[in-house]
Amino acid sequence: MNVLSDIIETNNLCQKWRNNGDSIAFVPTMGCLHEGHLSLIKKAQSLAEHVVVSIFVNPLQFNDTDDLLNYPRTLEEDFNKLSDYSVDLVFTPEVKRFYPEGENDVAKIELGGITTILEGAQRPGHFDGVATVVKRLFDIIQPNVAVFGEKDFQQLMVIKQLVAKFLLGTKIVGMPTYRESDGLALSSRNIRLSENERQKAPEIFRQMESIKTAIQAGSVDLAGLEQAASENLSKAGFIPEYVAIREAETLLPPKTTTTDRVVLVAAKLGQIRLIDNLRL
């Protein structure tokens, strides 16, 4: 397993593979790897001759300084996990080398559209930071395919929009959300939950399941379902930011004829902000 932090060395190694006619699958992460990340790596291994994983906590996508400082960093543990998965390259750039102009002076990529609603509205600039880091990573690695989890559903859509806008040659593959047995979506932030909060956390999944069941039973009062779920989360100790039933393709409020829908939830539990979604 190659571990590189130098951008030129990383680009040269990937170029060598491409010159040999080999394909590259890429899994970008911010570290603190869990089974969800590892499921993406397994998928990547089935899609290309070489697998590259990046571990980089991107400061540009944090609009809360405390969140950035408290984001879990477990690099040695991550290396140990990756060594069991025959990963060809782990790319771990330093912030000052990745953003040589200085992180405060980076010309961010602004895609507009879906980057301004839901997560984009709650975290202004977040998706600009995501698009900027992913574009630079793609430029360095030039992968044939990149694998992302559907747990960050809106982010996945933003990445697809990025690829389309810049005519990038990378195929984007989304993988289903990896969950604990009680329904909690795996997230690096879960390790910061207290024992009591961890017991409450699956309520988000239960509320989404309740919405799905109601719609399958014929309910058309989507606003009422959103409001009920939000109130139930509040009663359970959460501070809901949004419960939104949207068109899966556009994230706009669904038309009456739309059948492909998704419910998206963001809520704080103590100091931890959790997001999740469920296709309906």
Alpha-carbon span 230 to 89, nearest angstrom: 43
Structure tokens at 184: 């909690």
Burial of 129 (0-12, 13-18, 19+ CB in 10 A): buried
What would the pLDDT profile of 101-120 be if each residue is shown by its tens digit? 999 999 999 999 999 999 99
Q: What is the pLDDT of residue 259?
A: 85
Q: What is the pLDDT of residue 67?
A: 87
pLDDT tens over the chain, length 280 residues:
999 999 999 999 999 999 999 999 999 999 999 999 999 999 999 999 999 999 999 999 998 888 899 888 999 999 999 999 989 999 999 999 999 999 999 999 999 999 999 999 999 999 999 999 999 999 999 999 999 999 999 999 999 999 999 999 999 999 999 999 999 999 999 999 999 999 999 999 999 999 999 999 999 999 999 999 999 999 999 999 999 999 999 999 998 788 899 999 999 999 999 999 999 9
CA 36 to chain centre: 11
The residues, any chain, with a CB within 8 Å of residue 140's CB and separated by 6 or more, are 7, 10, 11, 14, 91
Alpha-carbon span 172 to 98, nearest angstrom: 23
Q: Which residue has the tokens 């989304």?
A: 174
Closest among 28, 35, 77, 82 to 57, alpha carbons compared:
28
Task: Tell me the catalytic residues.
Answer: 37
The residues, any chain, with a CB within 8 Å of residue 213's CB and separated by 6 or more, are none
Bridging pattern class, strands 261-269 and 89-91: unpaired
Do residues 43 and 145 make contact, with C-beta atoms less than 8 angstroms apart?
no
Q: How many helices (H) and strands (E) does the chain have?
A: 11, 9
Do residues 155 and 127 make contact, with C-beta atoms less than 8 angstroms apart?
yes
20 CB-side CA count, 13 A? 11
Closest among 79, 61, 50 to 146, alpha carbons compared:
50
Neighbour count for residue 168 (Cβ, 10 Å): 18
Q: What is the pTM of this model?
A: 0.94
Alpha-carbon span 277 to 257, nearest angstrom: 21
Q: What is the pLDDT of residue 257?
A: 80
DSSP classification of residue 186: P
279 CB-side CA count, 13 A? 10
Burial of 58 (0-12, 13-18, 19+ CB in 10 A): buried
Q: What is the pLDDT of residue 155?
A: 97
Sheet strands (E) in the chain = 2-4, 24-29, 50-55, 89-91, 145-149, 171-175, 239-247, 261-269, 272-279
Domains of the chain: 2-175 (3.40.50.620), 188-279 (3.30.1300.10)
**Dihedral over alpha carbons 165, 171, 174, 175 (to 10 degrees):** -160
